[in-house]
Amino acid sequence: MASLWGGRFEKEMDDIVKQFNASIGFDQRMYDDDIDGSIAHVTMLAEQGILTVEEKEQIVAGLEAIRTKIAAGEIVFTVEDEDIHMGIESRLIAEIGEVGKKLHTARSRNDQCQVDTRLYLKKELREVVHRLCYLESVILEKASQYAETIVPGFTHIQHAQPVTVGFIFMAYFQMFRRDIDRLEAAYERMNYCPLGSCALAGTTLPIDRHRTAELLGFAAPSENAMDSVSDRDYCLDFLSAAAISCMHLSRWAEEFVWWNSQEFSYIDIDDSYCTGSSIMPQKKNPDMAELLRGKAGRVYGDLMQLLTVMKGTPMAYNKDFQEDKEGLFDAVDTWKASITIFANMLEKTEFRVEQIARQFDKGFLNATDVAEHLVTKGIAFREAHSIVGRMVKACEHKACDFTDLSDEDLAAIDPRLSQDVLGDISMQACVEARKSFGGTAPAEVRRQIAVGTAWLQTVEEEWA
């Protein structure tokens, strides 16, 4: 079969060249967008008097018929189609005859593939925002359920200070909030229509690019035709946001793996989100969490691939750019699935409050609280730090806690010390006292939840 561009060729492409050259295997997922773009294009061409209204109507009807057939699985694309753009155009010509040959007036596949990808990505970006919003809603719900549940907070995987489970949840809430912010910014930047840029330099025909931009729901046409056909920044924006967000998911997934271990036993992940071992009958493994860690690596790969493809490519279109899609599609699929899996797993995970409480007597979680308490008694923080350091040493010698030190033990460390001076240093008191803005006190976590809930509501409304 001769290609639509075959006029100047005397030989057909070699079979392996057809295979190597074709993008139809993956770009057919954008068939809807391709048809939407074509319909807007011919609508504008007719309004500009470049096509007659009659011609436009025939083309639109033909395209809609093809859309229905593709959706019904009645069209099987092959490498002969090369890509979705020619796959649809050649079928249109077969379907409606000569008039179909007017569709490609004043456009090129260089701008066409870009309008398709932007339309596709805008839809998928919206879907990602919806999924992140769902994840955020689960986080808010769980944060409120566990706003008072105390848990050791770590630095360097060492007991540091007591925090609440709700507080940890709200830390992750902020990460996903930034992911949504990044997507909003990416959306704004990608919302320009390249259609009508043609091969690289625009066209001599009297098209109206503002009109096609408007018909397709873009903010405006892209400003410069050469940039429009060569730009993949919007894909990289999306991929960067995906990579960062999957990194966030992988960090929390890592905590799930730890929390689920026998050593921690902080959580009980629902059976439906775990798998067993083919040899060890007792096993219940956190495979979803591990896969989420792994998927982040995969999405980084998608980002790196496109950054590397784009590096050093000259103006304007180069076939290298066809390599933009598979990684992008992979990131879309992987990110979407990762968010949903994580949100569901989170929703079904319960914290073992008693088991967590058994860890409180390890690692002097309240040491900073004692030091801060001494500050309120007029002792300089640096001195208080050193006094508590000596208290820790004394406790280590006696294998006991701060509260087990006698007044004599304390006075030997510093004459100003006594159990009375230490005050209430229970985990509960320590957590409740951390009321500084952004701190872990339940009241403060509830404030963060309220702010987060209000923000989420506006985002959900904006992206409804």
Residues in contact with ligand ARG by CB under 6 A are 23, 27, 83, 109-110, 113, 317, 319, 321-322
DSSP character at residue 436: S
Q: How far is the CB of 5 from ligand ARG (least distance, A)?
A: 8
Q: How far is the CB of 347 from ligand ARG (least distance, A)?
A: 39
Q: How far is the CB of 464 from ligand ARG (least distance, A)?
A: 32
Helix 287-310 crosses helix 233-260 at what angle (to 10 degrees)? 160
Of 108, 130, 144, 156, the active-site residue reads 156
Q: Which residues contact 41 (CB under 8 A, 6 or more apart)?
A: 103, 106, 107, 195, 196, 212
**Cβ proximity to ligand ARG, 87 vs 442, nearer residue:** 87
Beta strands in 280-435 (DSSP E): 350-351
Q: How far is the CB of 195 from ligand ARG (least distance, A)?
A: 13
CA nearest to 401, candidates 433, 377, 438, 370: 370
Q: How far is the CB of 193 from ligand ARG (least distance, A)?
A: 17
Terminus-to-terminus CA distance in the chain, angstroms? 46
**Known active-site residue 426:** no
CA distance 22 to 36: 22
Establish how many alpha carbons lie within 13 A of residue 195's alpha carbon, considering only the half-sphere containing its beta carbon.
37
CA distance 429 to 312: 59
For residue 101, which amino acid is it?
K
Q: Which residue has the tokens 């008097």?
A: 49
**Cβ proximity to ligand ARG, 87 vs 100, nearer residue:** 87
Cis peptide before 316 (omega within 30 of 0): yes
**Cβ proximity to ligand ARG, 48 vs 318, nearer residue:** 318
Provide the 3-class DSSP secondary structure of residue 364.
Answer: coil
For residue 247, which amino acid is it?
M
Question: 430 and 365 in contact (C-beta within 8 Å)?
Answer: yes
Measured in degrees and rounded to the nearest 5, phi and psi for residue 268 equal: -125, 105
Please count the other Cβ atoms lying within 10 Å of the Cβ belonging to residue 435: 13
**Cβ proximity to ligand ARG, 87 vs 166, nearer residue:** 87
Question: 4 and 90 in contact (C-beta within 8 Å)?
Answer: yes
For residue 250, which amino acid is it?
S
Q: How far is the CB of 49 from ligand ARG (least distance, A)?
A: 28
Q: How far is the CB of 435 from ligand ARG (least distance, A)?
A: 56
**Known active-site residue 245:** no
CA nearest to 212, candidates 358, 46, 55, 342: 46
**Cβ proximity to ligand ARG, 23 vs 250, nearer residue:** 23
**Cβ proximity to ligand ARG, 195 vs 388, nearer residue:** 195
**Cβ proximity to ligand ARG, 109 vs 211, nearer residue:** 109
Q: How far is the CB of 23 from ligand ARG (least distance, A)?
A: 4
Measured in degrees and rounded to the nearest 5, phi and psi for residue 220 equal: -170, 165
CA nearest to 359, candidates 169, 168, 158: 158
Beta bridge partners of 151: 163
**Cβ proximity to ligand ARG, 120 vs 273, nearer residue:** 120
Catalytic positions are 156, 277
